[in-house]
A and B are shown apart, each in its own frame.
Chain A
């Protein structure tokens, strides 16, 4: 069931502080149910902060504004509550936890979610994470291995809304095809609720991942704001040609296409 607006995620005038410093200055964003959006922008523009805030990580303090998920105000909910509503994140640099194995997390998911042990075993094989199942979670993994480990956890929980922070960063070309197919699987068809694609938000620098997963729309962040939104391919092309400098000019001159008010 989706909200009256048909948006799975709506963000209104979101201001966020980290360590007393405001990093997000009034974000407005709407993602319709069934759509996948791309988020682009230079380093430090607030892309990761936005995702971490949507997930509810306590280091990211909302000082103003609202986050609605499926029409429900989730701004005050805990990470657990958000996860159980169906929000999930694949972090770019997830923490390592000594003594906690990826297997233990997957076992927890099997025990508490609808996924079966057999399905997890298949996933583990397909994502090629067997060899680090029994190592400390995220410890000593390469970029590609981290993505695969994160994606296995996301696929296991079958989220309604998945966020991914630079799924292609640090991934070599061979691995990218695998990561891409896993990402695709996360979105392309809803195995929990057939015929509908699941929704999400993907941070990408290079756009390589968009070869594997079609984004409906892209947003560019600059200095803690969404500077413009539009067609992902057109925007990638512009960035490839002239970098984010063009975006900055565009914002300064005030003629950005499809600008968010």
Chain B
């Protein structure tokens, strides 16, 4: 466990509030609610704290110096530095930035760890490389909050995320993004999942950036491995948001469920979900979009896809795009709700539909999206 000054001493109040909007809680009783905290402002790690035995969270550069095996076995092993322009730019950094998380064998952690990635200067480019290693029989929930300072309009967030989940382990990644209106966001993520392990990927975008591409790839390599993606996006005028992900079902009896819920209040929104069946498996993609007020050129494009290499791969997809029905809005108004309250409740329901066991964090963020969409604050 690292011991140093408390996070509240190094993070200013206004920045703590901005981070709180994306699920990162900087507070005196942090160890009561979080198992570890890492905050990066621009290029500077402000704090790294871990509050649990068996869990390490370090700046990646320090971790690479400390553990030779990190470079040998995990660093750039799921994603190639030559994959595209984003990975090349991240690989070109002389000293990599980002975090390393290591959960040692047998460590099951109920309180979430948190990483806050924060751009405080106009036009700044963050280039990050994060690596997560969960050994066998472990469990971790990581909340990653990515955001810009309130006055910041533009910037670049480029990230390479590699995660390794051993056997009988569960990794839950909840990513909450809230960006300035001209920020370009390019995470490139890959996750490898072992025998009887589970990977849960939640992605929520509150304040949409100019341009987001986030389609993490999961390799379900282990027997009985599963993945569950939940993507909730609010799109607004002028933005291009391309989110979802793909899952490669390589292990026998692996399974995946990809759910995408998008509310479009302008801008271009692509909902993706791609399954590759390489073994006996079961998987389903479900994309649903609500076109609230697309403006002149806004749209939702749903792109669920299946590729099967195995006769016993049972895969399916569904997609739908619709609007908020006036009779539903007026039904709720007839109980005394204002129009925006009724729309919020319907959007909230649309986003919640079919999601069971939503974490409190995610639940709160989805409530915010619904309220914003209902109020028309996106305009």
Binding site for B on A (CB under 8 A): 55-59, 78-80, 82-84, 88-89, 91, 94-95, 97-101, 104-105, 108-109, 112-113, 136, 153, 157
In the complex, the 8 A-B pairs of residues with the closest C-beta atoms, listed nearest first:
A99-B349, A99-B353, A100-B349, A79-B333, A83-B336, A99-B352, A80-B333, A98-B353
Q: In whole angstroms, what is the CA distance A94 to B328 when docked?
A: 9
Instruction: Evaluate contact between A59 and B353: CB separation under 8 angstroms.
Output: no
The answer to whether B333 touches A108 (Cβ under 8 A) is no
Query: B330 at interface (Cβ–Cβ under 8 A)?
Result: yes
Q: Kindly specify which of B10-18, B43-51, B63-71, B340-348 makes contact with the partner chain.
A: B340-348
Inter-chain contacts of B330 with A (CB < 8 A): 56-58, 79
Chain A residues lying within 8 Å of B333, measured Cβ to Cβ, are 78-80, 83
Whether the Cβ atoms of A100 and B345 lie closer than 8 Å is yes
- Give the distance in Å from the alpha carbon of A113 to the alpha carbon of B336 in the complex: 9
Q: How far is the CB of B332 from chain A (nearest CB, A)?
A: 7
Could you list 16 A-B pairs, sorted by A, with CB under 8 Å? A55-B334, A58-B330, A78-B339, A79-B330, A80-B338, A83-B335, A91-B331, A97-B328, A97-B331, A99-B353, A100-B332, A100-B349, A105-B335, A109-B335, A109-B336, A112-B336
Chain B positions within 8 Å of A78 at CB level = 333, 339
List of B residues within 8 angstroms of A97 by Cβ? 328, 331-332, 346, 349
> Contacts of B328 on A, CB cut-off 8 Å?
95, 97
Q: A98-B350, A104-B349 are in contact. List 6 more A-B contacts (CB 8 A).
A: A57-B334, A79-B330, A95-B328, A97-B331, A99-B350, A157-B335
Are the CB atoms of A89 and B334 closer together than 8 Å?
A: yes
Of chain A, the residue at the smallest CB distance from B324 is A97
Chain B residue numbers with a CB within 8 Å of A59 are: 326-327
SS of A interface (majority): mixed
Q: How far is the CB of A167 from chain B (nearest CB, A)?
A: 16
Task: Name the B residues within 8 Å of A56 (CB-CB).
Answer: 330
Instruction: Let me know if A108 and B348 touch, CB within 8 A.
Output: no
Please name all residues of chain A whose beta carbon is closer than 8 Å to the beta carbon of B351 when the two chains form the complex.
99
The answer to the question of B337 belonging to the interface, with a C-beta cut-off of 8 Å to chain A, is yes
Q: Are A100 and B337 in contact (CB under 8 A)?
A: no
For A112, list chain B residues within 8 Å (CB).
Answer: 336
**A58 cross-chain contacts in B, Cβ below 8 A:** 326, 330
Q: List residues of chain B with CB within 8 A of the CB of A89.
A: 334
B325 adjacent to chain A (CB < 8 Å): yes
Across the interface, which residues of A come within 8 angstroms of B334, CB to CB? 55, 57, 79, 82-83, 88-89
Within the assembled complex, what's the spacing in Å between the Cα atoms of A58 and B328?
12
Q: How far is the CA of A91 from the CA of B332 in the complex (A)?
A: 12
Please determine whether A108 and B341 come into contact, CB atoms closer than 8 angstroms.
yes
Query: With the chains together, A84 CA to B338 CA distance in Å?
Result: 10
A interface footprint on B66-92 (CB within 8 Å = 1, 0 otherwise): 000000000000000000000000000
CA distance A59 to B331 in the complex (A): 12
- Alpha-carbon distance between A109 and B354 when the two chains are bound, in angstroms: 25
Most buried by A among B331, B345, B353: B331
Say yes or no: B335 contacts A104, CB within 8 Å.
Answer: no
Specify the chain A residue showing the minimal Cβ separation from B347.
Answer: A99
What per-residue 1/0 map shows which CB atoms of B177-203 lie under 8 Å from chain A?
000000000000000000000000000
